[in-house]
């Protein structure tokens, strides 16, 4: 068996109603708490009240959309000035990524941009971040158990990562009840992002025994429950399945890497205003099809092709299903759930070569099961327009 290392959050709590205990856990870590949530401050109202009942001083920040580097840099400075001792990220991937970045930058001196990949020096962090509690309210990103934060740098039209093994949250609390109010469209795109983050690590050359087990279980959960959760947001079993699948995807990607879907989504996200999950969702079937063609053309291993066939069996629940059936299943669910195509977000054919070229430099491409050339990436993007 190939040796491997597996790293994740210091503690994971999963279950309906578990979010009610967050004020208790936060108070154990510090008396000055920074709560980072999405654009609606009302979402954090009960959490803030619970903290204040325990005599905690609370600083509340709202992230309007995907976090920008300037925002988290300024927020980190605020955290230092207010002597923040613990950070709670409550929301979707954007709020949790912002919280992770703020907790990390607040504890490390110097110019914050030096710690960024691509636009900065990718400097290693010398100090552990402030203790962080990550609480997802969507089922998609798995950011509560990953070691990076994706930040937008609008002036460069880029999304880049702040990354460190030290950035894994101290505590991840996954309460499926917090996802009940998600609209069907967001349920769909975040759920397909979760599926992508199960399929790509399963096909990755860095896959290991633990990530394999997580991906196999998670893929089956998405297959049986995503459309149910979209139809009925209060379907408790379906919401629990999706929350667990999202958690498993985060655990898997943090330890086995991703692939060409995320490799392409990274530059796309910096160029157009579109939710990350929607970009991944519309790209997924086309990347899967392109990978199959490349692997069957001699670029892949027998092992990788066998993995692709297994994905077909996991998605369809049939022993005779193969990789082509997986591609057809993915195309079908993307269409049924009404996922927007790239053209609807303003992506134009003339810009595809530049996007493909930039994607080649993405760290996610290293996990793809087969090397894809720029022309192949352009073809994928064209198919998703």
pLDDT 10s digits, 98-137: 999 999 999 999 999 999 988 888 899 999 999 999 999 9
Mean pLDDT of 83-102: 97
First-residue to last-residue Cα distance in the chain: 42
282 and 334: one domain? yes
Would you state the pLDDT for residue 94? 95
- Answer yes or no: is 2 within a domain: no
155 and 203: one domain? no
95 and 206: one domain? no
Would you state the pLDDT for residue 374? 97
239 and 351: one domain? yes
Domain with 247 in it: 184-384
- Answer yes or no: is 34 within a domain: yes
**Which of these three, 114, 147, 178, is where a domain ends?**
178
- Answer yes or no: is 4 within a domain: no
265 and 165: one domain? no
Average pLDDT value over all residues in the chain: 96
Mean pLDDT of 51-77: 95
User: pLDDT at residue 1 above 80?
Assistant: no
* Rounded Cα gap, residues 373 and 51, in angstroms: 52
149 and 192: one domain? no
Residue 69's domain is classified under what CATH number?
3.40.50.1970
Total domains in the fold of the chain: 2
- Answer yes or no: is 6 within a domain: no
pLDDT 10s digits, 219-274: 999 999 999 999 999 999 999 999 999 999 999 999 999 999 999 999 999 899 89
**Which of these three, 178, 197, 214, is where a domain ends?**
178
Task: Tell me the Cα Rg of the chain.
Answer: 20
- Answer yes or no: is 7 within a domain: no
174 and 194: one domain? no
51 and 122: one domain? yes
- Answer yes or no: is 318 within a domain: yes
80 and 108: one domain? yes
Residue 283's domain is classified under what CATH number?
1.20.1090.10
88 and 199: one domain? no
- Answer yes or no: is 259 within a domain: yes
pTM summary value: 0.97
**Which of these three, 115, 150, 178, is where a domain ends?**
178
- Answer yes or no: is 39 within a domain: yes
127 and 197: one domain? no
34 and 48: one domain? yes
């Amino acid at each position: 068996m190939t040796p491997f290392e597996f790293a994740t959050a210091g503690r994971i709590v999963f279950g309906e109603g578990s979010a009610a205990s967050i004020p208790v856990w936060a108070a154990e870590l510090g008396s000055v708490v920074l709560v980072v949530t999405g654009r609606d401050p009302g979402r954090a109202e009960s959490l803030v009240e619970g903290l204040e009942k325990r005599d905690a001083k609370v600083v509340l920040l709202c992230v309007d959309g995907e976090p920008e580097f300037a925002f988290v840099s300024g927020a980190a400075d605020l955290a230092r000035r207010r002597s923040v001792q613990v950070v709670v990220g409550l929301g979707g991937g954007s709020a949790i990524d912002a919280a992770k970045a703020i907790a990390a930058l607040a504890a490390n001196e110097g110019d914050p941009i030096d710690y960024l990949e691509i636009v900065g020096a990718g400097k290693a962090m010398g100090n552990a971040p402030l203790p962080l509690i990550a609480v997802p309210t969507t089922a998609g990103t798995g950011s509560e158990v990953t070691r990076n934060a994706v930040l937008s740098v609008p002036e460069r039209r880029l999304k880049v990562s702040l990354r460190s093994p030290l950035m894994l949250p101290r505590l991840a609390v996954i309460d499926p009840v917090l996802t009940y109010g998600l609209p069907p469209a967001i349920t769909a795109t975040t759920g397909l992002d979760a599926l992508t983050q199960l399929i790509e690590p399963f096909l990755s050359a860095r896959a290991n025994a633990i990530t394999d087990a997580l991906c196999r279980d998670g893929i089956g959960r998405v297959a049986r429950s995503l459309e149910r959760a979209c139809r009925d947001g209060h379907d408790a079993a379906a919401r629990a399945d999706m929350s667990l699948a999202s958690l498993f995807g985060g655990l898997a990607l943090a330890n086995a890497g991703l692939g060409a879907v995320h490799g392409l989504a990274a530059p796309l996200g910096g160029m157009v205003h579109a939710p990350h999950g929607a970009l991944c969702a519309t790209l997924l079937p086309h990347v899967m099809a392109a990978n199959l063609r490349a692997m069957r053309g001699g670029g892949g291993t027998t092992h990788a092709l066998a993995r692709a066939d297994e994905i077909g069996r996991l998605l369809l629940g049939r022993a005779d299903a193969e990789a082509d059936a997986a591609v057809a299943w993915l195309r079908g669910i993307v269409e049924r759930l009404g996922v927007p195509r790239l053209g609807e977000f303003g992506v134009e054919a003339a810009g595809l070569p530049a996007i493909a070229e930039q994607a080649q430099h993405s760290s996610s491409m290293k996990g793809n099961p087969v090397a894809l050339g720029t022309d192949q990436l352009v073809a994928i993007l064209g198919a998703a327009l």
